[in-house]
Structure 1
Amino acid sequence: MNFMQPIRLSHLSHGGGCGCKLAPSVLQQLLSSHPVATPYKQLLVGVETGDDAAVWELDNGTGNPTCIIATTDFFMPMVDEPRDFGRIAATNAISDVYAMGGTPIFALAILGMPVDKIPPEMVRQILEGGASVCEAAGIPIAGGHSIDSPEPIYGLAVIGTAPKAHIRRNADAKPGDTLILTKALGVGIYSAAFKKSALSPEAYGEFIASTTLLNKIGATLGGNPDVHAVTDVTGFGLLGHALEMARGSGVTVNVKASALPLLKDAVSLAQQGFVTGASGRNWKSYDSAIKLPDGTPDWQRQILCDPQTSGGLLISCAPDKADTLLQDIVTAGYPAARIIGSIEAGEPLVSVDSSAF
Structure 2
Amino acid sequence: MDKSESGGCGCKIPSVMLSRILSQTAKANTVIDEKVVLGFESSDDCAVYEMGEKYLLFTTDFFSPIVNDPYIFGQLAASNAVSDIFASGGTPLIANSIMAFDPDTVSSDQVTQMILGAQSVMNRFNVSVVGGHTIRNSQPLYGFSIIGEVEKSRLKKNNTATSGDLLVMTRPIGVGIIASALKSGLIDQKDIIPSTLEKITGDNSIGRVLSEKSWVSSLTDITGFGLVGHISEMIGSGRLDVELDVNSLKFYDGVESLAVSVTSPESGVFGNIKKYAQCVNYLVDLPLAKKFLLHDPQTNGGLLFTVAPEEFEVSRHAWEMLCPDMTVIGKIKDGAGKIKVC
CA shift digits 1:118-142 (9 cap, x unpaired): 1111111111111111111221211
What letter is aligned with 1:13? S
1:283-298 alignment to 2 at 5 Å?
A: 283-293=273-283, 295-298=285-288
**Match for residue 146 of structure 1?**
134
1:299-318 alignment to 2 at 5 Å?
A: 299-318=289-308
User: 1:274 aligned to 244, 262, 273, which one?
Assistant: 262
**Match for residue 179 of structure 2?**
191
User: 1:48 aligned to 12, 19, 41, which one?
Assistant: 41
Distance in 2 of aligned mates of 1:111 and 1:133? 17
**Match for residue 16 of structure 1?**
7
Distance in 1 of aligned mates of 2:248 and 2:285? 19
Distance in 2 of aligned mates of 1:29 and 1:204? 40
**Match for residue 344 of structure 1?**
333
1:31-110 alignment to 2 at 5 Å?
A: 31-33=22-24, 34-35=26-27, 39-59=32-52, 65-110=53-98
**Match for residue 229 of structure 1?**
218
Distance in 2 of aligned mates of 1:207 and 1:24? 28
Gaps in structure 2 of 5+ consecutive residues: none
User: 2:324 aligned to 335, 339, 343, which one?
Assistant: 335
Paired positions, count: 337
Is the 8 Å Cα contact of residues 203 and 265 (structure 1) preserved in structure 2?
Answer: no
Is the 8 Å Cα contact of residues 172 and 249 (structure 1) preserved in structure 2?
Answer: no
User: 2:143 aligned to 149, 155, 160, which one?
Assistant: 155
1:321/1:38 CA distance change after superposition, 3 Å:
farther
**Larger deviation: 213-222 or 320-329?**
320-329
Q: TM-score, normalised by structure 2?
A: 0.94
Root mean square deviation of aligned Cα: 1.7
**Match for residue 133 of structure 1?**
121
**Match for residue 62 of structure 1?**
none
CA shift digits 1:242-267 (9 cap, x unpaired): 00111047311221100011111121
User: 1:213 aligned to 202, 207, 230, which one?
Assistant: 202
Distance in 1 of aligned mates of 2:223 and 2:11? 11
Distance in 2 of aligned mates of 1:14 and 1:208? 21
Distance in 1 of aligned mates of 2:125 and 2:72? 16
User: 1:124 aligned to 95, 112, 116, which one?
Assistant: 112
Is the 8 Å Cα contact of residues 88 and 156 (structure 2) preserved in structure 1?
Answer: yes
Is the 8 Å Cα contact of residues 260 and 340 (structure 1) preserved in structure 2?
Answer: yes
CA shift digits 1:294-335 (9 cap, x unpaired): 642321210100111000110111111222444333212x22
What letter is aligned with 1:99? A
CA shift digits 1:137-158 (9 cap, x unpaired): 2212111111111110000111
Distance in 2 of aligned mates of 1:96 and 1:190? 22
Is the 8 Å Cα contact of residues 196 and 253 (structure 2) preserved in structure 1?
Answer: no
Distance in 1 of aligned mates of 2:144 and 2:173? 23
Is the 8 Å Cα contact of residues 91 and 212 (structure 1) preserved in structure 2?
Answer: yes
User: 2:312 aligned to 309, 322, 330, which one?
Assistant: 322
Q: Percent identity?
A: 33
The reply on whether 1:259 has 2:252 as its aligned counterpart is no
1:179/1:37 CA distance change after superposition, 3 Å:
farther
Is the 8 Å Cα contact of residues 284 and 341 (structure 2) preserved in structure 1?
Answer: no
Q: TM-score, normalised by structure 1?
A: 0.90
What letter is aligned with 1:257? V
